[in-house]
Structure 1
Amino acid sequence: MADKKLRILVTNDDGIRAPGLKVTEAIARTLTDDVWVVAPESEQSGASHSLTLTLPLRLRAADDRHFAVTGTPTDCVMMASAHLLKDQPPDLILSGVNSGINAADDVTYSGTIAGAMEGCALGIPAIALSQCYNYEDRKQIHWDCAEAHGPAVVKKLIETGWPKDVLMNVNFPDCTPDEVAGIQVVAQGVREWQEISIERRVDMRANPYFWIGFRRERFTAKPGTDLGALASKCIAVTPLQLNLTDWKVLQALKHSVDADFGKPAVPSEDSTGALIPAKERAP
């Protein structure tokens, strides 16, 4: 990938007008001038890896290389790779820069992660980028942190390389560029506690509606995790894999099941087309 001119697809989950999308495009343009932007028409935060199957998708061209899709980040990557760029698919996908952290448990909800995840599923190297900020003061987001350090981080990841079934998750700390203490390659962390908040309201026609949110408490982030790195004002880089199998649990469960039930039957078809276990078949 480093020996050829890169074609980069930029997407996000905050929408086509999001400031973080411009930051990602700026990062991409430090690597190549072959940059395409395909992003949701409206915000899709929390969309995870969902795709649109029951509604038609609309594609709006802002110019010859900037497009908005009435769908999710997954829809955007699909639209780009299978339609807009099908003759020459992208070599790299950059998803973000997200407004807010995408670490620990958040990765399972994140549309930003999903944009990179879909690229990974299609065999395209992908990096998710997120800029942390203080939730108590959302007016100050240090986009300059991601823009200043993003190019070097992305270049290093490209130079190093990673397996096809892995995506890279990069979080920039909530600080100015010169306050960044370094970069750490770390594991996905775990939040100690958070409470789901569902607020009931009533509209002008006396019909109830609801808002879902989270109430989070401060806690001590563990070293060696994405949350720990960010707490130390370090850039956190975490490789995430598509295969969610827990291999340790699989082996333990397999041993337990095999001990009680024996090895599973090898299916075969009889003359009626019904499946029968191998032990019941004539030799």
Structure 2
Amino acid sequence: MKILLSNDDGYQAPGLVALYEAIKDLGDVEVVAPEHNNSAKSNALTLHSPLYVHQGANGFRYVNGTPADCVHVALTGLLGYRPDIVVSGINNGANMGDDTIYSGTVGAAMEGYLFGIPAIAFSQTEKGWAHVDAAARKARDLVQQVIADDNAAGKLWLLNVNIPNRPYEELKPFRICRLGRRHAAEKVISQPSPHGETMYWIGGAGAAKDGADGTDFHATAQGHVSVTPLKVDLTDHDALAQWNWLSREQAGSR
């Protein structure tokens, strides 16, 4: 089993180190991660400046780019082989609901998925790395199960996993969930710069808008590890028919 491991918090992040230690005996694990924190970079690729790959003192290779850059570079030339699975995380904070759109952790996993490789993104629900070793152990449980399960073998899938910051014995079983929804983000933070200009900082994430039973918000609040299968197709298939009038009107005007 060949595993590519990445993240968005950087190659020295406690979540990445803990996850590596937890899964390193499950196969050949190669780490290619960002040099610095790249939270909220989503699926961004670096196109207008060169990327460099170096090896850190911890043995991990790192890239001066985004999480998606790391996986993209790894899969298109750096590794020289095709991994069986791409694993991303463990992220310092939740990636639930609308967060998944912005998440660099999910972006790294999704890059593997776009290359036709099964992938998992792992996050802890709260920042600060409390009980990160327990989260890594739980992540190992899931990786081990999907590697061994015939239902997952030979198929393409993308999983988003959020683990409560609890001791391992207090973590409840995996629960398959849909994504919840958040309220709009908090107000932007403005302050004067040393040069007299106004600086703006993106505000915090909003509170849960849809945290009903069946969502990732609800599951993790109850102590479960939420597992949400994701897909990349953004097409609103239910709305295709209602927009057919645009095609008819354009055809009638010719």
TM over 0.5: yes
Higher relative contact order (CA 8 A, sep 6+): 2
**Are the aligned partners of 2:135 and 2:165 in contact in 1 as well (CA < 8 Å)?**
no
Please give the per-residue CA displacement for 1:26-75, whole angstroms capped at 9, x wherever unaligned.
2321411x111111001000000000011111211226952110000111
Structure 1 match to 2:218: 228
TM-score normalised by structure 1 residue count: 0.81
Write the distance in 2 (CA, Å) between the matches of 1:139 and 1:28.
22
Listed as ranges, the gaps of 5+ residues in structure 2 are none
Q: Given that residues 221 and 231 in structure 1 are in contact (C-alpha distance below 8 angstroms), is that contact kept between their aligned partners in structure 2?
A: no
Instruction: Answer yes or no: is 1:54 the counterpart of 2:42.
Output: no
Match status 1:25 vs 2:20: yes
Counterpart of 1:212, as a letter, is I
Tell me the amino acid that sits aligned with residue 89 of structure 2. G
Report the 3-state secondary structure (helix = DSSP H, G, I; strand = E; otherwise coil) of the residue aligned with 2:202. Answer: strand
Normalising by structure 2, we get a TM-score of: 0.89
Aligned pairs (5 A) from 1:28-177: 28-32=23-27, 34-62=28-56, 66-86=60-80, 88-133=81-126, 138-139=127-128, 141-158=130-147, 159=149, 160-161=151-152, 166-177=157-168
Structure with greater Cα Rg: 1
Q: What amino acid maps onto 1:175 in structure 2?
A: R
CA displacement 1:226-255 (0-9 Å, x = unmatched): 11111111011111011111211123433x
Give the drift of 1:187. Answer: 0.9
For 2:97, the aligned partner's letter is A
Alpha-carbon distance between aligned partners in 1 of 2:132 and 2:91, rounded to the nearest angstrom? 10
1:180 aligns with 2:171: yes
* Preserved CA contact (<8 Å) 2:43 2:107: yes
Instruction: Give 2:136's aligned amino acid.
Output: E
Task: Tell me, in whole angstroms, the C-alpha distance in 2 between the residues paired with 1:73 and 1:140.
Answer: 20
**2: distance between equivalents of 1:140 and 1:10?**
18
Q: Unaligned regions of 5+ residues in structure 1, if any?
A: 1-5, 266-276, 278-283
Equivalent residue number for residue 211 of structure 1: 201
Change (3 A) 1:83 1:73: same
User: Which residue matches 1:274?
Assistant: none
Task: Supply the distance in 2 between the matched residues of 1:51 and 1:209 (Cα, whole angstroms).
Answer: 26
Q: Is the 8 A contact 1:165 1:243 kept in 2?
A: no
**1:135-185: per-residue Cα shift (whole Å, max 9, x none)?**
xxx546221331221111122223231786531111112322111122111
Indicate the residue corresponding to 2:5 in structure 1.
Answer: 10
Q: Give the count of matched residue pairs.
A: 251
How many angstroms apart in 1 are the aligned matches of 2:200 and 2:246?
A: 44
Tell me how far apart the structure 2 counterparts of residues 22 and 43 of structure 1 sit (CA, whole Å): 14
Asked if the contact 1:100–1:131 (Cα under 8 Å) also holds between the matched residues in 2, the reply is yes
Q: Structure 1 counterpart of 2:216, which letter?
A: D
Describe the shift of the 1:91–1:140 C-alpha distance in structure 2 as closer, same or farther (beyond 3 A).
closer
Q: SS of the counterpart of 1:50?
A: coil
The alpha-carbon distance between structure 1 residues 124 and 215, as it changes in their structure 2 partners (threshold 3 A), is closer
Structure 1 residue 83, shift from structure 2 partner: 2.1
Q: Which moved more, 1:150-159 or 1:73-82?
A: 150-159
**TM-aligned CA deviation for residue 222 of structure 1:** 0.6
C-alpha spacing 1:64/1:130, structure 2 compared with 1 (3 Å): closer
